[in-house]
Amino acid sequence: MAGQTIPLWEVFIRSRNGLSHKHVGSLHAPDATLALQSARDLYTRRGEGLSIWVVPSNAITASDPSEKGMMFEPTASKIYRHPTFYEVPDEVGHM
Amino acid sequence: MYTQALNANPDAGDRTLEDAALVARFQERIDDEDRIEPNDWMPAAYRKTLTRQISQHAHSEIIGMLPEGNWITRAPSLRRKAALLAKVQDECGHGLYLYAAAETLGTSREELVDQLLSGKAKYSSIFNYPTLTWADIGAIGWLVDGAAIMNQIPLCRCSYGPYARAMIRVCKEESFHQRQGYEIMISLSKGSAEQKQMAQDALNRWWWPCLMMFGPPDAASMHSDQSTKWKIKRFSNDELRQKFVDATVPQAQYLGLTLPDADLKLNEETGHWDYGTINWDEFKQVIAGNGPCNRDRMSARRQAHEDGAWVREAALAFAEKRRVQAEAA
Ligand SMILES: [Fe+2]
Ligand SMILES: [Fe+2]
**What ipTM describes this predicted complex?**
0.86
Burial class from Cβ neighbours inside 10 Å (0-12, 13-18, 19+) for residue A89 reads: exposed
Q: Per-residue pLDDT tens for B271-293?
A: 999 999 999 999 999 999 999 99
Average pLDDT over residues B112-122: 96
**A-B C-beta contacts closer than 8 Å:** 53
Q: Do B89 and A45 touch (CB under 8 A)?
A: yes
Q: Do A45 and B86 touch (CB under 8 A)?
A: yes
Average pLDDT over residues A62-67: 87
Is the per-residue pLDDT at B1 higher than 60? no
- Is B303 an 8 Å CB contact of chain A? no
Residues 104-143 of chain B with CB under 8 A from chain A are 108-110
Average pLDDT over residues A40-52: 93
High-pLDDT (> 70) share of chain B, %: 94
Cα gap B170→B179, rounded to integer Å:
15
- Is B103 an 8 Å CB contact of chain A? yes
From the candidates B36, B316, B322, B324, which should be mutated to test the interface with A, based on the most A CB atoms within 10 A?
A: B316
Q: How confident is the model at residue A1 (pLDDT cuts 50, 70, 90)?
A: very low
Largest Cα–Cα distance of chain A, in whole Å? Answer: 75
pLDDT attached to residue B6: 52
Sorted by sequence, the CB contacts under 8 Å of residue B161 that are 6+ apart come out as B35, B36, B37, B38
* Dihedral pair phi/psi, residue B278, rounded to 5°: -85, 140
- Is B161 an 8 Å CB contact of chain A? no
Q: Do A31 and B315 touch (CB under 8 A)?
A: yes
Average pLDDT over residues B195-219: 96
**CA torsion angle for B51, B57, B60, B62 (degrees, to 10)?**
-80
Average pLDDT over residues B209-230: 87
Is the per-residue pLDDT at A2 higher than 70? no
Average pLDDT over residues A56-76: 88
Rg (CA), chain B: 21
- DSSP letters for B94-120: HHHHHHHHHHTTT--HHHHHHHHHTT-
Cα gap B143→B131, rounded to integer Å:
14
Is the per-residue pLDDT at B100 higher than 70? yes
Q: Per-residue pLDDT tens for B239-275?
A: 999 999 999 999 999 999 999 999 999 999 999 999 9
- Is B89 an 8 Å CB contact of chain A? yes
pTM of the model: 0.91
Is the per-residue pLDDT at B221 higher than 50? yes
What is the spatial order of strands in the sheet that A22-28 belongs to? A22-28, A8-14, A51-56
pLDDT attached to residue B8: 44
Nearest CA in chain B to A10: B100
Cα gap B119→B80, rounded to integer Å:
33
B281: Cα within 13 Å, side-chain hemisphere: 0
Chain A partners of B318 at a C-beta cutoff of 8 Å?
Answer: 30-31
Burial class from Cβ neighbours inside 10 Å (0-12, 13-18, 19+) for residue A1 reads: exposed
* Dihedral pair phi/psi, residue A51, rounded to 5°: -155, 140
For residue A32, give how far its alpha carbon lies from the nearest alpha carbon of chain B (Å). Answer: 9
High-pLDDT (> 70) share of chain A, %: 97
Cα gap B12→A30, rounded to integer Å:
40
Q: Per-residue pLDDT tens for B120-176?
A: 999 999 999 999 999 999 999 999 999 999 999 999 999 999 999 999 999 999 999
Distances (CA, A) of A53 to A31, A34, A36, B38, B322: 13, 12, 8, 22, 20
> Which of A1, A2, A25 lies nearest to residue B317, judging by beta carbons?
A1
